[in-house]
Structure 1
């Protein structure tokens, strides 16, 4: 778009791309310079991008060059307030933790992030390194949506084979996903699903285009009614870091295949019975005090799988079920709607405090996920409490026994940070 600026018009009213970029840079600097003394919880998320910079050649002339950088945003909770940004050429855990450390102090109680090994490694992950430097345990609030994607990835790789790069798949199913949107809709076998009702306008608006597609295609396969507009929509670009679009493509391939293979049917059933219901349930119940319940419901939803597939999914859950740690389960229990569950949590927390007072504790406890009991009948029984050392949730370290007892009696929510 081209416009003319006449003489006498205030130039401040004229907007261009450079002015917007300068305004953004100024705002980032102001927010980064602001002092945050009492950060209770810090959430960080990053992605790799190609960044342009000027580089001097042998003739000393500055020329444009490009490099991959890790860009990490830091968010303070509660309140979801942006506090800073990191640009790192090396995305290893020590570099990330060193970049984050100047933003935090001893008031920090919890850290939230994706469940990558870089972030959650028990010895050298970002959170562990922050704990060691602060000389205190932190509440591990790992992204619940990222957790749900990992069993899908494990099952897909087991069924269809390994990937061939960031956007390519090697197996019979994966090799067909790129063109699945061009397939005409055929008569397909319905697969029932139980998606949560998204009745709240904010819940619907919060969904991305790919998430809305997943919701609608799941409903279409469940009801057998597939609209023309849905059949013509794109299901998202395939990428190994975005398994939601792979789920969309698998479902689109299914409704365009006259005689789907047993492997394709297995993936479709898993997506409709486990993956999608859990995904949208987490979008609604997205607080960290919901995490262990969400984990339990996901485990329950996988019980229909054949044993060989169940083993694959359970191995992924065991590796990545961070809300199966006693500190996170207790965070859920103290907020439970049932009084006897809250009282059980109170007793376990206070007993842990008494043991800590009498025992000689050396160093910061190591965060490890206990063996998960996959046949448990409630979320607080997904671990064997008698076989593990129970430590109190770091978010409750500043609570006295009396304050905890008030939470138990009132049934108020504890730990209401979003962790989806």
Structure 2
């Protein structure tokens, strides 16, 4: 006979155990100290009162934030409340640091005693001690005898003995006696309208007393280091520029002294290295909480590099820091370009990278159900049709994704192939190579610019930039923009000729383009190859670069690709074939999914209608929910006159619906056809990954000085600081 008993899985058993343990701990706590509550403020607090208030604050914080804070985190707030009660008696107190230390020691002892459930005698003795006064006064005389050291005023000596024993007297009675004594000592005013301060006091209004200002009623003040203040921006800047806790402590304290930042006693505030470390930790925790708010991804971008990284080895129980080479991948959320984090890559193959990326998303609890695309560069590991990272994500999620491959990387590939075909040089290092033109490029900044070089017209550029836009450009890009303007005008200013272009590095094709133009303005009789490269840069490379930066959205991707192809028409047939081959192998925005996406956001209503009709045709005639579409590089029509005709959209074998519209209902698509305006919002996903590359560069600098567990937080703080203070040129830049 089969058993009808219901089975309970492991998660339910764990839940029952946790609830039982929590209930038991709460019951045990109540039996020892009573119900958690606030301080009564009628008497000075006992150890039991302190425990009640500690659990009251801890439970309330847990309900509000869903987090359990340590007692060390709550001790400063509890200490403030204890000091507030004691100060009403005008008794001199020990400093707050000693109070916090005593408080932590007591709570730690309580937790240790509670764990020893079998030690009944020990717990009984501890329970008896809870009725003792939580003593924080400076006086160290015997508690059951009147004070003889003079630290406790005469009129409070019997009150303190009472607080140690029967606790019948209350704080309001003591304060009233102090006020009465002080009123009798104050001289009477000749003004008939004068009334003593005590006449205005309401003794029973929640025990909040307005003490009269008198010389002999000076409350105990905190020590200089006890004044509380936040230094979020200071800590953020320290992490941004890699300033150590010790150096930051010296700088902050010196500044406080110079500007006169003092405490209530007029003494200079001191920021020690522990304060700096705490502020940095708070900044990191704030950043982590912000990152946890993101749960769903529309798209993500990634890029990586091998660099030096700080790590540590354990030898005989001791940790020794060292620097070693590690491969990292940085992941950003799109469309905001927000840093999600980084991972250490164990191997360089696509399978390992894809698995580690997937584990990263699972660890961060990020859902990929709404994912529509992946942004990356054109490296074969990323874009392999069968085994690339993007394709593996498609197979894992069982749905097609947009392949948003960086257009700035695409822009470099035809230039690189053309340069290698014309120069036919071999590299002998990261900065040197054989070949006549390469040798001249290495020292081109040393040549004087000639006044009569032949100008070359600049291709179709985006709207002209003003001075404000120029400031947002990097040094290398700004130099390229200015040297291109000089070549188009046929005149190179002296100050521009004296500037140095970026360093000669074979992997940096932007600086190589700048050097080609700099060599051109210094050549009275430029060679045929130099003229051809200069024309390609002016008519193709530079316009494409700035248009990609200006029209920074994937909805313009196919249109930008078409404009790039059109701008290469001036090349001779043999060179055009070289460029076209590079375009064919890397034109991911010529895929029908990306072309239809661009058509959906076209300004022409007829183009948008055709895109929607194609999508509905695919849904009705071609879509097979049981089969995942295979990605294909379509044959490009290089003689087309519109980006819609880059490939044959009437070919059912290559027609696919954009993942961007996959979740849009059929009825909504029909409504979009009749819309006079563009009906959908731009997803604003970047068509390049330059922001990701900058985060990779940031990770390179951070990895050399920060341990792995803190790198993401330091990077996020640095990016937050850069967003607030992108440049430091004048006072207005620092007003954040």
Q: TM-score with structure 2 length normalisation?
A: 0.53
Superposition map of 1:255-270 within 5 A: 255-270=521-536
Give matches, 1:137-148, under 5 Å: 137-148=400-411
Structure with larger Rg: 2
Q: Secondary structure at the match of 1:210?
A: helix
Deviation at 1:209, TM superposition (A): 1.4
Alignment counterpart, residue 295 of structure 2, candidates 29, 37, 40: 37
**Which of 621, 643, 646 is the equivalent residue of 1:382?**
646
SS at match of 2:428: strand
Where does residue 11 of structure 1 map in the other structure?
A: 271
Q: 1:20 Cα shift?
A: 8.9
Is 2:533 the counterpart of 1:275? no
Query: For 1:212-233, what per-residue CA distance to the aligned partner results, in whole angstroms no more than 9, with x for missing partners?
Result: 1111111100101211221122
Q: 1:46 to 1:200 in 2, by over 3 A?
A: farther
d(CA) in 2 for partners of 1:366, 1:238: 41
The residue correspondences of 1:20-59 to structure 2 (distance < 5 A) are: 26=285, 29-30=288-289, 34=292, 36-55=294-313
Matches within 5 A, 1:303-342: 303-342=569-608
Does the alignment pair 1:184 with 2:451?
no
Which structure: greater strand fraction? Answer: 1
More displaced, 327-336 or 39-48?
39-48
- 1:12, distance to aligned residue in structure 2 (A): 6.7
SS in 1 for 2:505: coil
Q: Contact 2:492/2:521 (CA < 8 Å) preserved in 1?
A: no
Q: Distance in 2 between matches of 1:208 and 1:20?
A: 32
Mapped contact 2:346–2:352 kept (Cα < 8 A): no
Which residue of the other structure, out of 294, 311, 322, is the alignment partner of 2:560? 294
Secondary structure, in 3 states, of the residue corresponding to 1:365? coil
Unmatched 5+ stretches in structure 2: 1-246, 258-266, 362-366, 689-736
1:402 aligns with 2:670: no
Match of 1:416 among 643, 666, 684: 684
Alignment of 1:113 onto 2:360: no
Using structure 1 for the length normalisation, give the TM-score. Answer: 0.90
How far apart are residue 180 of structure 1 and its match?
A: 1.1
The 1-side partners of 2:313 and 2:301 are apart by: 33
Give distance in 2, aligned partners of 1:318 and 1:116: 15
> Which residue is 1:80 aligned to?
337
Between the two structures, name the one with larger relative contact order (CA 8 Å, sep ≥ 6): 1
Query: Is this contact kept in 1: 2:517–2:534, CA < 8 A?
Result: yes
> What is the CA–CA distance in structure 1 between the aligned matches of 2:442 and 2:286, rounded to whole Å?
41
Shift of 1:402: 2.4
- Range with bigger deviation, 387-396 or 91-100: 91-100
- CA shift digits 1:276-319 (9 cap, x unpaired): 01111111111100000000000000000011110111011001
Question: How many residues are treated as equivalent by the alignment?
Answer: 415
Partner SS, residue 173 of structure 1 = helix
The within-5 A match list for 1:241-256 is: 241-256=507-522
Which consecutive unaligned segments of at least 5 residues does structure 1 have?
none
User: What is the root-mean-square deviation of aligned Cα atoms in Å?
Assistant: 2.7
